[in-house]
Amino acid sequence: MSTLTLPAESGLPARRVVVAGLVGNVLEWYDFGLYGLLAPVLAERFFPGGDRIAALLSVYGGFAVGFAVRPIGAAAFGHWGDRLGRRFILGLSIALMGIATAAAGVLPTYAVVGVWAPVMLVLTRLFQGFSVGGEFVGSVTYLVEIAPPGWRGLAGSVANIGATIGLLLAAGAAALATQGGAWRIPFLLGGILAAVGYMLRRHLPETLPQLQPLEAARQPAAPLRQAWREARRPLLVTILFTSGYGIVNYVSMVFLPTFAHEFGQVAEAAALHVNTAGQALALLIVPLAGWSSDRFVRRRTLLVAAFLGEAATAGFAFYWIQSKGLAGLWPAQLALAGLLAVVMGTAPAFLAEQFGPAYRVSAHAVAFNVGIGLAGGTAPMMALALIGWTHQPMAAAGYMVCAALLAAVSALGLADRSRATLLNS
């Protein structure tokens, strides 16, 4: 990524800008991945009861609540990002995320304060969800706008490299926490990571001339309203795309270890180790996919192919896990993670390119977080609920197939600007 260039007056090396854009996504997905992967542990400590499925549903309900408020945070952070600048929201979002993540590590359990324990846990998820509403899209927008021509795909993939690193760290931390019982420590470490990220982001340059302090008044007073007037169709289609994307993401990378434990008789620690391997594979593929979308295959083509691959693989993957246990989990997790990594490397720039600069953060943030938040955030809970309603573990696979097909069809309805100039004025 050393090819990235910056405004000459910034005096900042490209490497620092890339790391600053990456670190917030590390924290965001570390926290959400940690919460999802430690669902069985949190269920025991915050939602005790005799019904195992009910306790897990309660934890995943808290997971979904955090995502449900993301569209509200997206609207707020998107507005601030388009009006006050990309740099402003990058600093604010990581500071708020750090507070919420660290707070989760000091909460008293049900055994100590009773019903207030789950209440406080859900409140931290609400605060976390609001603060991350603009983080991913804010950093993607920043990196795509600052990238030189022909490098937007790779630049945008940096955000998901951070997300993958975050989930990889979460998987490793969760595996260690389940073995040692020190489940609080990973959350506290997230607060330290946030402090480092904030220091890196304090002096980043702005990407667009109209966002410099003296010219900010030229920006629209209501960017999201302007997006609704001028880009309504891509806004709605993007929501459908991110809904399918979100479900596929969270079923394959967050729910799958729980499915393997509950329905494939795989030990929790073993399932998390396999998940960690899947994240490591994704970390290799994400930048390659972003780079390939700049050089060889157009972004829309890559996305459609990857989601069709997910749809074709999901049924086999869940069957292997249910019938073969750990031996089936390995190929299932690696196949789904590899295909998802293609999406993660390609989608950031593809989605940022759908909208004009005056409302790019607002439109992208709302569309991304409505889909990822409402559909993706509820995906583990919905997958588990479908199994409970139908008494068929394979119902989760059907849910994932439908989501992958929705994402593939929606991608075809969006413009492919892989080789077009990005308008920044």
Residue 5 is assigned to a structural domain of this protein = no
Q: What is the C-alpha separation between 304 and 406, in angstroms, rounded?
A: 10
- Looking at mean pLDDT, say which of 29-33, 111-115, 261-265, 400-404 comes out highest: 400-404
pLDDT mean over 221-249:
94
- The reported pLDDT for the residue numbered 154 is 94
Query: What digits encode the pLDDT tens for the residues 16-44?
Result: 788 888 898 898 888 877 877 777 777 77
- The reported pLDDT for the residue numbered 8 is 44
Encoded tokens for 17: 């800008």
Residue 217 is assigned to a structural domain of this protein = no
Whether residue 215 has pLDDT greater than 50: no
Q: What is the C-alpha separation between 219 and 326, in angstroms, rounded?
A: 54
- Looking at mean pLDDT, say which of 33-37, 58-62, 196-200, 408-412 comes out highest: 408-412
- The reported pLDDT for the residue numbered 4 is 54
Residue 150 is assigned to a structural domain of this protein = yes
Q: What is the C-alpha separation between 401 and 312, in angstroms, rounded?
A: 7
- The reported pLDDT for the residue numbered 382 is 94
Encoded tokens for 201: 């982001």
* Domain, as residue range, for 291: 12-208+228-412
Distance from the first to the final alpha carbon of the chain:
24
Q: What is the C-alpha separation between 346 and 366, in angstroms, rounded?
A: 19
- The reported pLDDT for the residue numbered 337 is 96
pLDDT mean over 352-366:
93
Which has more pLDDT, 48 or 318?
A: 318
Query: What digits encode the pLDDT tens for the residues 286-312?
Result: 999 999 999 999 999 999 999 999 999
Of 59-63, 128-132, 326-330, which gets the smallest average pLDDT?
59-63
- The reported pLDDT for the residue numbered 181 is 66
C-alpha 118: how far from its chain's center?
24
- The reported pLDDT for the residue numbered 29 is 81
- The reported pLDDT for the residue numbered 2 is 41
Residue 164 is assigned to a structural domain of this protein = yes
**Cβ–Cβ under 8 Å, residues 359 and 234:** no
Q: What is the C-alpha separation between 239 and 51, in angstroms, rounded?
A: 35
- The reported pLDDT for the residue numbered 125 is 84
Residue 358 is assigned to a structural domain of this protein = yes
Whether residue 370 has pLDDT greater than 50: yes
- What is the number of residues in the chain? 425
Mean predicted lDDT score pLDDT of the chain: 86
What are the DSSP calls for 213-274, one per residue?
GGGGGGS-S-HHHHHHHHSHHHHHHHHHHHHHHHHHHHIIIIIHHHHHHHHS---HHHHHHH
Identity at 375, one-letter amino acid code: A
- The reported pLDDT for the residue numbered 1 is 41
- Looking at mean pLDDT, say which of 53-67, 83-97, 237-251 comes out highest: 237-251
Of 49-63, 119-133, 404-418, which gets the smallest average pLDDT?
49-63
- Report the percent of the chain where pLDDT is more than 70: 91
Q: What is the C-alpha separation between 227 and 235, in angstroms, rounded?
A: 8
Encoded tokens for 323: 């019938």
Give Cα separations from 390 to 61, 218, 247, 385, 398 (angstroms).
19, 55, 19, 9, 12
Number of domains in the chain: 1
Query: What digits encode the pLDDT tens for the residues 159-168?
Result: 999 988 887 7
Task: Give the three-state DSSP class for 318.
Answer: helix
Residue 219 is assigned to a structural domain of this protein = no
**Cβ–Cβ under 8 Å, residues 144 and 155:** yes
- The reported pLDDT for the residue numbered 403 is 98
- The reported pLDDT for the residue numbered 268 is 84
Residue 422 is assigned to a structural domain of this protein = no
- The reported pLDDT for the residue numbered 374 is 82
Residue 425 is assigned to a structural domain of this protein = no
Whether residue 339 has pLDDT greater than 80: yes
Whether residue 206 has pLDDT greater than 80: no
pLDDT mean over 345-367:
94
Query: What digits encode the pLDDT tens for the residues 313-323?
Result: 999 999 999 99
Encoded tokens for 398: 């059907």
Query: What digits encode the pLDDT tens for the residues 374-391?
Result: 898 789 889 999 999 999
pLDDT mean over 183-198:
89
Number of other CB atoms surrounding residue 214 within 10 Å: 6
29, 97, 245, 306: CA torsion to nearest 10: -40
Q: At what angle do helices 232-250 and 360-369 cross, to 10 degrees?
A: 40
Task: Give the three-state DSSP class for 393.
Answer: coil
Task: Give the three-state DSSP class for 203.
Answer: coil
Whether residue 93 has pLDDT greater than 70: yes
- The reported pLDDT for the residue numbered 71 is 86
pTM above 0.95, yes or no: no
Encoded tokens for 283: 């970390």
Q: Return the CATH number at 377.
A: 1.20.1250.20
